[in-house]
Structure 1
């Protein structure tokens, strides 16, 4: 094991460049999947005719496919029908599609957890369905959504490493290149990226606990 050589300034700089890509892809995918997941989950909760059953089928298909398969399909399957993307954009699309399906279920479950009696009381008091959703259902459902949502975001961040299969220059991809330079580098480099992932994900878990406390 060569910790000094593995942690040379050039290698660390190269790893940080990969980390930037990892965080960028994860951040964009988190924002997009959260927005799409909230919309889809709300529509399914409201049981909008025609649209809700269609979304249910799409969500179930995506949730039950391996993320790796979705990444490969976006990068190599879509170009066959004329839809070409850069590696970075393709990774974002694949992650967003998969995670949005997961988040939509979290949102739908959170909204469904609100007692029906409160919904019925709100409607009987004159509130519209949208007003009931906004003022009664969402505030209560959000409290139960926070922990699983953050857990899903943590999973998304870790799942960016799967994009190494399409040569996305993220953290694990760059780590592999460094480890290929010297047979004494693997353990030091693997330990370092393990620490990086742990620090980031642990920070997110602390944020989750704080948000959970504030919404309690």
Structure 2
């Protein structure tokens, strides 16, 4: 193992650039998947016959497909029908769809956890369905779903490493290239990647625990 060589300024810069791309993909995907998941989860919560069934079909389909397959589909299949995206956006779209389906179930469960008595009381006080949902159900539901949402975001960050298969220059891709330069760089580079992942994910896990303690 050659720690001094692996951690030279050019190599550290190369790895950190990869980690920056990992974070960029994760942040954009978190925002988009949260929006998508909230929309899908809310649609399923409303229990409108056709809409609910169609939404359930989409969510169940996405949840039961391997994320790797979705990434391949975005990068390899879509260009065959004239829709071409860079590795960066192929990864973002794939993560958004897959994680959005996962988040939709968290949102639906959070909304369903609200006591029906509160909803009935709000309706009897003169609030319509939308007002009840916006002022009573959604605020409480968001608080209760915060811990599992953060846990899902942690999984999303780790899932970005799957983009190595389509040559996205994220951290694991750059670690692989560095390891190809010298076998002695492999373990030091992997250790650094593990430390960077741990720092971000452990910070998110602390946030999740604090949110959970506040709710309880």
Specify the TM-score bucket, using the shorter chain as the normaliser: over 0.9
The alpha carbon displacement at 1:40 in A equals 1.1
Shift of 1:39: 1.0
Deviations 1:107-154 (A, max 9, x none): 000000111122122212221111111121112212220110000000
Instruction: Name the SS for the 2:181 alignment partner.
Output: coil
Alpha-carbon distance in structure 2 between the residues aligned to 1:178 and 1:71: 24
Aligned to 2:9: 9
Cα shift readout 1:152-181 (whole Å, capped 9, x = no counterpart):
000000000000000000000000000111
| 2:76 maps to 1:68 | no
Aligned residue for 2:184, secondary structure, equals coil
Post-superposition Cα deviations, 1:74-131, rounded to whole Å, max 9, x if no partner, equal 1111111111111111110000000000001100000001111221222122211111
Any idea what the Cα deviations from partners look like across 1:172-211, whole Å, max 9, x if unmatched? Answer: 0000000111111111111110011000001111222333
Question: Taking structure 1 as the reference length, what is the TM-score of the superposition?
Answer: 0.96
Compute the TM-score of the two structures, normalised by the length of structure 2: 0.96
Q: Please, which runs of 5 or more residues in structure 2 have no aligned partner? A: none
Note the residue ranges of structure 1 that are not aligned, 5 or more in a row: none
1:192 corresponds to 2:192: yes
Counterpart residue number, 1:135: 135
Matches within 5 A, 1:1-216: 1-215=1-215
Q: Which shows bigger deviation, 49-58 or 144-153?
A: 49-58
RMSD: 1.2
* Cα distance between partner residues in 1 of 2:27 and 2:161: 14
